[in-house]
Every structure is written in C-alpha cells, then in structure tokens.
Amino acid sequence: MSGSSRAAGVTNPLLQYSSGAIDGPPLPHGVDPEHHELLHLAGVIFGHLQHGGSVFVTDDVWTEANVDLLIRHFVERPDVSGDTFDTKIAKQLDGLPDGPILLLAELYLLQMLPLHNIGADKKAANLRCILDLAPSKPELPEDVTQALSDQVFNGGIAFLSRRYFHLCVLIQFLRYFRALDPGVQSDCATNPLTWRRVVDDAPGTSEPTLRRSLLYLRHPEFFAPVVSAEHLRKIIDAFYPEHTGRAPSDDPDADLAALRLWMEPQGRTPAFYDPPLRHMWKGDEPEPADPAASGPAVSGSPVDTYTVEDVVSDGAFHDPGYLRDIVTRWTEQRNIVLQGPPGTGKTWLAKRLAYVLIGQRLDAAVRSVQFHPGTSYEDFVRGWRPAADGRLTLVDGPLMQHAEAARNNPDIPHVLLIEEFNRGNPAQALGEMLTLLEATKRSSRDALELTYMKDGEKPFWLPDNLHVIGTMNTADRSLALVDFALRRRFAFFDLEPAFTQTWVDHLREKFPKDESTKITEVRKRLETLNTSISEDPSLGESFRIGHAYLTPGREPGDFGPWYRSVVETSIGPQLSEYWPGNPAKVRQEIDALFKGF
C-alpha cells in the first residue's frame, strides 16, 4: 500500500510526534507474524547476552572465560592464508573445549539468522562445521532449524566476504556489553534508543550493516529490516514530506518507525523492496551492482577471497610477513604510502594489497589516479567546469566520487590509489581533505565546509571505509617534498629491491631451458651494482635498481638475449641518468652486467 493512498483517508499519526527524534518507549505496534520464529530465537540469544545460557546445550556458554578464549584464539589470531573460511576456523579453534566453540557457533547463528541471500541448508551447514569442532558435537535443535528457514533481508556480499570481521565484532561486543552497568543492560531490552547507542559505541571495525541487523533483531517493533544506511536515507527522502506532510527529523530510524506505523497500523512492515513502494524511493533504477545492496536472494556460496598468499602467487617477491604488516597498519591508519627506488613494483603491489584489504578482487571498489605537477584541488576534489550550455557547473573529482561510492557501500572497504603521490603538490591537491583524511576524523562530528559548496549542502566528512594508498618514487629529485602535516596522516612503507630466492625461482620457471647458475650470477651482479649505487654520495639507496626491471611478464624465450636487451634498453639508460658526467663509470657497470652473456 502506498503512502499517498493512506494519506487520503487516514489521520496522519506522525503528527503526534515532535519534529525531533522520538524518545521514550517503542512505537506501539507489533511484529510481522511471518518472522515470529526467527525473532523469537533472536530474543532468546539476546537473553543469553545478558543472563547467559545456550541454544545448543543446557550449560551456560556465554561466560567471560569463553570470551577470553575466543579473543586470544580467534580475534587476535587472524588467519590470512588462502584456506577456506571453515578450514581457517578449524585451525583457530583447534584444541579448545566445548564452551568457546559453542559460543562462536551461537554468534555465527546470530550473524546469519535474518539473511535471505544464504539458504537455510547453507546456514545449517555453516553451523554444523563449527559444532562438529566441539568435543560434544551437539545436534542442531529443531527450533533453530525452523528459524533458519526464515528470510528477512539480503545482507549483501559483506555478510559473506567479511564473516571473520563480523564474528570479531560480535565477540568484542559481548565483552563490551557485559562490562556495562546492569541498569543500562536492562534498559537495552526495553528501550530501542539505548540499544542503538550501545551497538553504535561498541568497539571493533565499523561493519554498519551487521550493526543495523543487531538493531532490527532485538527491536523489530522500532527498527525496520533495512540494513543499508543509503537505502534508509532514500526511503526517508522519498516519503518525507511529500507523502507524510511533515519534514523529516534528524533521526532516520525514528522517521522510518513512524512511517511504518502510519502506513501499516496493524504492525506489518511495509514492503519497501517490492513494487509499488520500491518505485517510490528507487524510481526506475535497475537492481544495483554494488556489493552491499539489498535485492533478490543470491547463492550462499562463499565469495572467493584474496589474501597475501594470492599476492605472492601473482608474483610478489617481498616477505609475506611484511605485506601482512602493511595491510594491518593500513586497516588502522586508513592512509598509507609505498615508497622506494624505481622498479620495486609499487603500483603493481598497491593494487593487490587493495584486494587483500577488501578481501577479494573487487575492481569496482578500487580507483586509480595519478598526480602530476598540474594536479589541483579542482581536479582531485571538486571544481568548476563548463557545461554543454557554456555555464560553469560544480563537478566532483575522483576523491569525492569514490568517497560517495564508499559511503553507499559501507561494509566494503574502498581504495583510492594515487600513483606518483609526490609528483604533484599533495597538500595543494587535498585542501581541507588533508584534515578529513585522518582516521580519527571520519565522522559527522568532524565535518568541514568544502572550498566549493553546492546549494544547501551540509559540511562534509569522509566515510570510514575509504582507504588511500599512494606510491612514491624516492629517486626522482624533481618531486615535491611531503610536509609534516601530511606525513602525520599517512603511514609510510619502504619497498626494497627484491632480488630474493623467490625471484630466482620465478625466473627459473620462466627460463626452464637455461642453466640456473646464470640467473644466480645475475642476482649477484645486480646486488653488486646496487651496493655501488648506494655507496655513491651523490645517489644513495633510493636510486637502486628494482627487481621489476628484470621480472618478465610473458615467456620471453632464451634468458641471455632477453637479459642483454633489458640491460641495454632499460638499466643502461637509467645508469646514464645517474652518472651523466662519467660515461666511463656507466660503461664499467654495464660491462660488469654483460660479462659472460
């Protein structure tokens, strides 16, 4: 039933509320009867959150001791291997008793419970994989099996690709909740606004759709099963004030709760994702391709993940442990720079580390730009551009565009890759974004007015799931210096020339007909050349020759001719730039590389 048809014949109950947020008890309407079993089970689990218990056994598994074990063995021991999710959990929980394993299964149940993009059989199989790790191997109770058949919303790809992070948030949430004052805990059961504050303030990664799922599962009488914040905003904008006769408040949840009561006084949730209501807030927009969108049910098969091991398999020669450290720090800092000599694979590696951060090869979530001496704020952030009619219009640049994409898909990390970061003037190109990039200023509380504002536009902030990675060539003396204010907001990682054993093995695979001793000898000569460059007072380590110069992309034929060609056309000219006034030195170094080839 549309809002407009309701408005003609029913007194608008929105008028009984103030223009601000709705305070006090939940709205007085019931819960969709078709979701009774699912919501009843969710209520039982939230009872265990406060008082202890278990849906699988008669013992209490929601204990501090079990939480501590999960923190140590699961949260603090992430498995970044290329194994399946189930295999990783089995390794992390190996040797643990029933308690923490059953607690993790119960949290996993809560995470999957309302999803309709995972079928009931797949939900049960996922639970079975964890329950079978427990020494007692309990069976799935009948009420759990029945509740798994219910389907409320599509959680999007995040509920599949970020399961580990979701479970970590739930484990940390349990510890956080148990530390609250008992009065606050009890108030969470009756006051949806208190529950929302506790869910929002709990530690862990943001995972906004998971947190919105928790809001709905505990207080379905107030919070609608709309887990996308972007969809929530669009619904409010579509119905307020045109159909409701009242301007929206500053609380979208309260507005949607009142809208639900107005449209369906008997308590059923309006079908916002079905025609005709869907067309009222989405228009003729086709089903979106974005990863976090709600929509028709899809297969519950696990998403192919992308890990550090995949980076190594793709051809990275750097230490995997160092690559993991980069991703870990990037997750915390939000902004990093890869810097090093030419040919160390900075751009190649940056994009693959972006896939690791995201958890899969999701090209739509990665955008690349390149700075140059002419890059300005108007190019990168926002500026005036002539339109077709000759008038100037305000156009968003790559940063604003990708920030909007990240905001619309809050559960998926989005990456902006800036190549040649210091070839332009980063501080000039970023403007006030230099402040907003800081990891601690990614919220509306720290919003700033932009240099160019659109009519009616509010102050702007960058979404928490937008990550930036820059690459810097440290050997180019023409590049701009990076000031201290910018350095404070980025973590910097050095990439060394990686003529490692992995590199040697890679070349041996590429040239199976050649003697392996030739490749080993070339490795020694390149290391000798880089030592000579490093010890030159006019050069230094930043000018060393990187491994990318001598890493073939396709099968190049015989090693000798290919090697000589690389030295003549790539390394030789680079050395001439290093020693422009000393051709004898250049010739000496090239002859040393050529000897025997």
316-373: pLDDT as tens digits: 999 988 998 999 899 889 999 999 998 999 999 999 999 999 888 889 999 999 999 8
Q: Which of 587, 548, 594 is nearest to 344 (CA)?
A: 548
> 134-191 pLDDT, tens per residue?
999 999 999 999 999 888 988 877 788 789 989 999 999 999 999 999 999 999 999 9
pLDDT at 390: 81
418: which strand partners?
A: 369, 470
**What percentage of the chain carries pLDDT values higher than 90?**
56
Which residues 6+ apart lie within 8 Å of 363 measured at CB?
none
Which is nearest to 256 in space by CA: 192, 198, 200? 192
Task: Map residue 383 onto helix, strand or coil.
Answer: strand
Report how far apart, in Å, the C-alpha atoms of 34 and of each of 2, 265, 267, 388 are.
Answer: 21, 17, 12, 53
The SS3 assignment for 82 reads coil
Average the pLDDT over 492-504 and give the result: 93
Could you report the per-residue pLDDT of 82-111, keeping only the tens digit for each? 678 899 899 999 999 999 999 999 999 999
DSSP 514-548: S-HHHHHHHHHHHHHHHHHHHH-TTS-GGGPPPGG
- Per the prediction, the chain carries an average pLDDT of 86
Strand ranges inside 61-111, DSSP E: none
Cβ contacts of residue 123 below 8 Å, gap of 6+? 109, 112, 113, 115, 148, 300
User: Is residue 554's pLDDT more than 70?
Assistant: no
Indicate the DSSP class of residue 465.
T
First to last CA, the chain: 81
What would the two tokens of residue 73 be? 């063995």
Buried b / exposed e across 281-296, counting CB within 10 Å, b at 16+?
bbeeeeebebbbbbee
Q: How confident is the model at residue 131 (pLDDT cuts 50, 70, 90)?
A: very high
Q: Which residues, in sequence order, are bridge partners of residue 417?
A: 368, 469
Mean pLDDT of 451-471: 92
Q: Which pLDDT belongs to residue 275? A: 85
* Contact call for residues 503 and 323 (beta carbons, < 8 A): no
Report the distance separating Cα 113 and Cα 41, nearest Å. 9
Q: How sure is the predictor about 262, in pLDDT bands with cuts at 50, 70 and 90?
A: confident
Backbone angles phi, psi at 592, to 5 degrees: -65, -35
Say how many CA atoms lie within 13 Å of 557 toward its Cβ.
7
Please tell me the distance from the alpha carbon of residue 484 to that of residue 9, in angstroms, as a whole number. 64
Residue 415 in 3-state DSSP? strand
**For 522-532, what is the mean pLDDT?**
95
> Using DSSP, how many helices (H) and how many strands (E) does the chain show?
28, 7
Q: How far is CA 423 from CA 63, 212, 293, 329, in A?
A: 55, 42, 37, 24
Angstrom distance (rounded) from CA 50 to CA 30:
23
**Half-sphere exposure of residue 241: CA atoms within 13 angstroms, side-chain side:** 7
Q: What is the pLDDT of residue 25?
A: 34
Mean pLDDT in residue range 15-19: 35
Alpha-helical regions (H) of 337-469: 346-358, 377-380, 398-408, 426-430, 433-436
Instruction: Look up residue 243 and give its two tokens.
Output: 């159909």
Identity of the amino acid at 205: T
Structure confidence at residue 451 (pLDDT):
92
Q: What is the DSSP string of 161-212?
A: HTHHHHHHHHHHHHHHHHTS-HHHHHHHHH-HHHHHHHHHHS-S---HHHHH
Give the pLDDT confidence score for residue 265 in this predicted structure.
66
| Cα 410 from Cα 209, distance rounded (Å) | 8
Two structure tokens written together for 301: 């098969």
Of 94, 118, 98, the C-alpha closest to 106 is 98
Predicted local confidence at residue 11, as pLDDT: 40
| Model confidence at 421: pLDDT above 60 | yes
Output the pLDDT for position 282: 82
Vertex 302, ends 300 and 304: CA angle to 5°? 140
Instruction: For tokens 């009488």, name the residue.
Output: 221
Contact of 375 with 426, CB cutoff 8 Å: no
- Taking only the tens place, the pLDDT of each residue in 283-332 is 766 554 333 333 333 333 445 678 888 898 888 999 988 998 999 899 88
231, 262 contact by CB (below 8 A): no
554-581 mean pLDDT:
89
Output the CA torsion 86→87→90→94 (10° steps): -170
Under DSSP, the state recorded for 369 is E
What does the pLDDT read at residue 484?
75
pLDDT at site 490: 92
Q: How far is CA 354 from the centre of its chain?
A: 9
Mean pLDDT calculated for residue range 60-65: 97
Is the pLDDT reported for residue 6 higher than 50? no
Q: How confident is the model at residue 33 (pLDDT cuts 50, 70, 90)?
A: low
- pLDDT score of 304: 65
CB count within 10 Å of CB 591 equals 9
Tens-place pLDDT, residues 194-218: 999 999 999 888 888 999 999 999 9
Q: Is 20's pLDDT higher than 50? A: no
